[in-house]
Amino acid sequence: MIVLKLGGSAITDKDRPETLDGDALDSAAAAIASSLEGDVDDLVIVHGGGSFGHHNASEHGVTTSEGTHEAAAAMDIHGAMTTLNRFVLGRLHERGVQAVPVHPFSTAHRDADADLTLPTGQVETLLEEGFVPVLHGDLVAHAGEGATVVSGDELVVDLARSLGADRVGLCSTVPGVLDADDAVVERISAYEDVESVLGDSDATDVTGGMAAKVRALLALEAPASIFGLEELEPFLDGSNPGTTIE
């Protein structure tokens, strides 16, 4: 069972608002389709926002900790993410993947301490029934804040833990975690291994910084890989491209 994140920047044109990188998304869909025809049975996909969702969230001043109580703002941000989700599903369907949406806004919430609860009964049942559930960074109900952002990375870590994933993959715009000479670090088993290149471990970025990703992935039981788009197929086929975090 694999939890795969398609990074928002990897499948959209980050410089132009609400613009897909159609070629990148299509090549990701092709790799996913071919792995499902091969050895991969259970796959859960999570995608980020890239040029969708983030600018809407910042226009409304909404972050993972600062929420909104306005339905119009919530619809704007959630709407951008569901638009991207439909594009992702569409490309997967063109390749024959039985992909269906699971919208975190309809299922997850944060308590007053910002702890996320993400039910997975529907994801597990969809997997058992042969579907590929596709979640995405979204808004979530947040006690005392209204609705706040939940990033795809946070969903991946939560899902991997509650579903007992065997492997976790983060398909990114970079070929892995890079060292000071821009070479890919092959393996990270402790944050200290990369602290000098990623910065000190008190950094608190929760939506996308590499330091935050590495720390969250180190805390998982399942091994995780960070790799570029061209390595998606090898990853799904069982090899460990890019950086392995375990």
Q: Which residues bind ligand IP8 (CB under 6 A)?
A: 8, 48-49, 53-54, 57, 77, 81, 137-138, 149, 151-153, 207-208
CB of 71 to ligand IP8, least distance (A): 15
Which CB sits closer to ligand IP8, 77 or 127?
77
Can you tell me whether residue 23 is helix, strand or coil? helix
Can you tell me whether residue 132 is helix, strand or coil? strand
Q: Cβ distance 123 to 44 under 8 Å? A: yes
CB of 159 to ligand IP8, least distance (A): 13
CB of 194 to ligand IP8, least distance (A): 21
Which CB sits closer to ligand IP8, 81 or 211?
81
Q: Residue 133 corresponds to which tokens in the numbers above?
A: 């559930």
Q: Which residue is nearest to ligand IP8 (CB)?
A: 137
Q: Among 176, 168, 104, 113, which Cα is nearest to 141's? A: 104
CB of 175 to ligand IP8, least distance (A): 19
Which CB sits closer to ligand IP8, 54 or 91?
54
DSSP characters for 44-110? EEEE--TTSSHHHHHHTT--SSS-B--HHHHHHHHHHHHHHHHHHHHHHHHTT--EEE--GGGT-EE
How far apart (Å, rounded) are the C-alpha atoms in residues 20 and 174?
18
CB of 51 to ligand IP8, least distance (A): 10
Which CB sits closer to ligand IP8, 49 or 175?
49
Which CB sits closer to ligand IP8, 86 or 187?
86
Lateral strand order in the sheet of 146-150:
116-117, 109-110, 138-142, 146-150
